[in-house]
Amino acid sequence: MAGNSGADFDLFRLSEEHEMLRESVRSLAEAKIAPFAAEVDEQGRFPQEALDALQGNDLHAVHVPEEYGGAGADALATVLVIEEVARVCASSSLIPAVNKLGSLPVQLSGSEELKAKYLGALARGEGMFSYCLSEPEAGSDAAGMKTRAVRDGDFWVLNGVKRWITNAGVSEYYTVMAVTDPELRSRGISAFVVEKADEGVSFGAPEKKLGIKGSPTREVYFDNVRIPADRMIGAEGTGFATAMKTLDHTRVTIAAQAIGIAQGALDYAKGYVKERKQFGKAIAEFQGVQFMLADMAMKLEAARQLTYAAAARSERVSRAQRTDGDLTFFGAAAKCFASDVAMEITTDAVQLLGGYGYTRDYPVERMMRDAKITQIYEGTNQVQRIVMARNLP
């Protein structure tokens, strides 16, 4: 598994190790995930085939370090896995993406005991990891959360509701942000690991969404959930800081998802316009179509390079175990730009297919619907622009 060169790769050429990883994930995705993508979307069901394929090839959580039983992949390798899975099925790409999002707080700030227990379980495929930050009244203003954790001897007792939780109900493990000192606002928020099996944990009905229908999104309810004190991630009051550090890294994975979706749409559109004939020739021969394709490819490659550059910064910051405004800017920029590009490219792909593009008989309408969420989750693109403005290089 690519794991040693992510911080130093050439922006214009991936290492041989990373190229081999891309090729292997693409082959697996096309053989084991793509055949079920339309059905997963149509039925709104979890892509179990994708989970089985990814776990069977140790690709479900490649970011987990080797000392905890993981593949020890660098940030760029993780991006490549997500990108290639998203190229055929955006819902399935949320398996490796959200496993990183949910478990990264443990990796960044957890005790060695927490890391060994939960990162090890994730690496072994014993359960997926989800991330519980947003609430009904705390979206972009995450520091306004109401979920409470109250100390009771050697335990913490959690009460509250989390909303928009990806893979909720399917994941076994949840990183949960909760208020431990209401007087301190963001500095009074702590992070915990909660297990699905903990008494008092329950889930709402799946949201009825525009896209990524194969990835369940639900509310998570905590009703007097009593957990051991050693399941706190880091020191009391550091949860919000850990949450923000996590997003610096994982926004890069959303950028990867976006470019994967866009690449899938561009690939399909290119093949279609070469076969579709009008006025006696393939529509690919018309200059107007050629210009559209050229713009799509140009913007996609720009988004990809920005994403890979952000991944390199993510890897450097991970190794140094520090905060870096450069990563904060690049993570936000990659997520914002790549998701805007993905929305534009998938919309253009639908246009290139004409009426066929508007039907479910062809995959580009699904890709367009899936692309939309990349502009919204892990911070809307309006919020990303605020983050960038505060961290200009």
Spatial separation of the C-alpha atoms in residues 152 and 135, rounded to whole Å: 24
Active site residue 378: yes
Residue 124: CB atoms within 10 Å? 15
pLDDT of residue 6: 44
Structure tokens belonging to residue 159: 């009460």
- Structural fold of domain 16-123: Butyryl-Coa Dehydrogenase, subunit A; domain 1 (1.10.540)
pLDDT of residue 13: 78
Structure tokens belonging to residue 310: 């952000």
Provide the 8-state DSSP code for 139: S
pLDDT of residue 1: 66
pLDDT of residue 337: 98
Spatial separation of the C-alpha atoms in residues 119 and 99, rounded to whole Å: 10
CATH superfamily, region 129-233: Butyryl-CoA Dehydrogenase, subunit A, domain 2 (2.40.110.10)
| Cross-strand partners of 161 | 221
Tell me the C-alpha to C-alpha distance, in Å, between residue 126 and each of 52, 168, 191, 245: 12, 16, 22, 26
Spatial separation of the C-alpha atoms in residues 183 and 21, rounded to whole Å: 48
Residue 385, burial from CB neighbour count under 10 angstroms (0-12, 13-18, 19+): middle
Kind and range of the H or E element at 178? strand 173-179
| Cross-strand partners of 217 | 166
**Which residues fall within 8 angstroms of residue 23, CB to CB, at 6 or more apart?**
none
Nearest to 156, CA basis, from 186, 191, 187: 191
pLDDT of residue 10: 47
Nearest to 91, CA basis, from 183, 181, 210: 210
Q: Which tens digit of pLDDT belongs to each residue from 275-324?
A: 999 999 999 999 999 999 999 999 999 999 999 999 999 999 987 666 66
pLDDT of residue 7: 45
Nearest to 69, CA basis, from 126, 16, 5, 129: 126
Percent of the chain whose predicted confidence (pLDDT) is above 70: 96
How many Cα atoms sit within 13 Å of 282 on the Cβ side? 10
Tell me the C-alpha to C-alpha distance, in Å, between residue 36 and each of 55, 92, 135, 241, 269: 17, 10, 32, 39, 20
φ, ψ of residue 177 in degrees (nearest 5): -95, 130
pLDDT mean by block of 10 residues, the chain; 393 residues:
51 86 98 98 98 98 98 97 98 98 98 98 98 94 94 98 98 98 96 98 98 98 98 98 96 98 98 97 98 98 97 88 81 98 98 98 98 97 97 91
Residue 22: CB atoms within 10 Å? 17
Q: Is 6 left (phi over 0), alpha (psi -120 to 50) or beta?
A: alpha
Domain spans in the chain, listed from the N-terminal domain onward:
16-123, 129-233, 239-390
Spatial separation of the C-alpha atoms in residues 312 and 308, rounded to whole Å: 6
Q: Which tens digit of pLDDT belongs to each residue from 199-256?
A: 999 999 999 999 999 999 999 999 999 999 999 999 999 999 999 999 999 999 999 9
Spatial separation of the C-alpha atoms in residues 73 and 58, rounded to whole Å: 11
**Cβ-contact 66, 84 below 8 angstroms:** no
Unique residue bearing structure tokens 């896995």: 81
The one catalytic residue among 84, 135, 219, 378: 378
Q: What is the pTM of this model?
A: 0.96
**Cβ-contact 2, 21 below 8 angstroms:** yes
Nearest to 373, CA basis, from 145, 41, 29: 41
Spatial separation of the C-alpha atoms in residues 310 and 288, rounded to whole Å: 33
Tell me the C-alpha to C-alpha distance, in Å, between residue 366 and each of 183, 296, 344, 362: 45, 18, 14, 8
Spatial separation of the C-alpha atoms in residues 5 and 22, rounded to whole Å: 15
Does domain 239-390 correspond to CATH entry 1.20.140.10? yes
3-state secondary structure of 22: helix
